[in-house]
Amino acid sequence: MKRIARVILQPAILAITLSVVLSAATLDEKADHALKFAAAQLKISVSQIADPEQLARTTKPDGSWKTVKADDWTSGFFPGLLWYASEFTGDQEFRKWAESRTASLEGQKNNANDHDIGFRIFCSYGNGYRITGDTVYKSVILTAAKTLASRYNPAVGCIRSWNHGSWMFPVIIDNMMNLELLFWASKNGGDPSLYDIAVKHALTTMQNHVRPDGGSFHVVDYDKSTGAVLKRQTHQGFKDDSTWARGQAWGIYGFTMVYRETGERSFLHTARKMADYFIGHLPEDHVPYWDFSAASMPNEPRDSSAAAIASSGLLELSTLVPDEASKQKYRKAALALLESLCSPAYLSEGTRMRSILQHATGHKPGNSEIDVGIIYGDYYFVEALLRYKDPNRIPKPTPRAAA
């Protein structure tokens, strides 16, 4: 019985020891530890997902990855993580793995079925081109940008997000993230009109998705002929007039990026409004519940992926605001998010989960991906850690006039 007791107690003792060690460490040390753990997790994941056409999405109850094919909206994040790991480890194996997983997505450059081509291609091929300079990668990115632009409706002033559902012309806040593909392409050999499409989409979203208090609607449905707003609602949030945490994080990151690309002050103002709302509604440990208005807090699931996305966006926002007090405010908020995510409460170290982070929520109203590890949470967590470790990784403002 004593031997059995020792075996049972060992994981608990390990978790307590890890918690004590990390709580005493500086954020630099915690970030280094988290990146080392991330590399180890990715190596295990690659060994367990040998087929390069199978891509990690979310953890199953046994902790292993549920995988998806290239046409899933999340398919670009696993290759993107492998590209990041090739940089921060210097291990050429990661680059080889990133190349093979990225190659499996090439056909998606022509996938005009939704707006997620930006996530699929820019996280995979975008990082690949940034690191390697391979012109084949550049060609894929430029084709993908043209494909995304084909979903733009000038009467609405937006790129259509989804083809499914009963909506006439649905646009979701997540779509702000995919505009980076258009901005990049417009400055790297693509049609200059891609810039104008991205700007118009951002302006329309700013007007119709963001509330005066800085909260946001998840979905806005438009009349495709007139551009009139038919309905403002949610799909993955708690209710139509609540603020879905990950949607708010997409908005912070997205409007910050659009300001970086345009220099238009209204986008900076919107990014700050959304950031202030996010920061002002966080619980004590800084990791949001899945929706800021969820009914049963504190007994609602958290969303570590929203925290990861927001931390990366806030780090960039802190470099773009004009005054020192605001710079410190947004940087402090980003670091508080990272502190929690690096802690044993959210890092999946010591568990059977193959993800880097635990306690993410994908689609609670759909009873899908609740309290799991999710690949995009891992992607933006690693991105935020790398931005923290090296501020030069944060993209510099490049308005078209200066290009």
- Active centre residues (catalytic): 116, 174
* Dist. CA 150–CA 54, nearest whole Å: 28
In this structure, what is the dihedral angle of CA atoms 152, 317, 220, 214, given to the nearest 10 degrees? -150
Helices and strands (DSSP H and E) totals, the chain = 14, 9
For β-strands 360-363 and 229-233, DSSP reports them as unpaired
Q: Are strands 158-159 and 170-172 parallel, antiparallel or unpaired?
A: unpaired
- C-alpha 341/C-alpha 284 separation (Å) is 13
43 token code pair: 């190596």
Q: Tell me how far apart the alpha carbons of residues 70 and 362 are, in angstroms, rounded to a whole number.
A: 19
Beta strands in 65-125 (DSSP E): 65-68
> Which H or E run includes 233?
strand 229-233
- CA gap 394, 244 in Å, rounded: 26
The partner residues of 58 in beta bridges, in order of sequence, read 66, 374
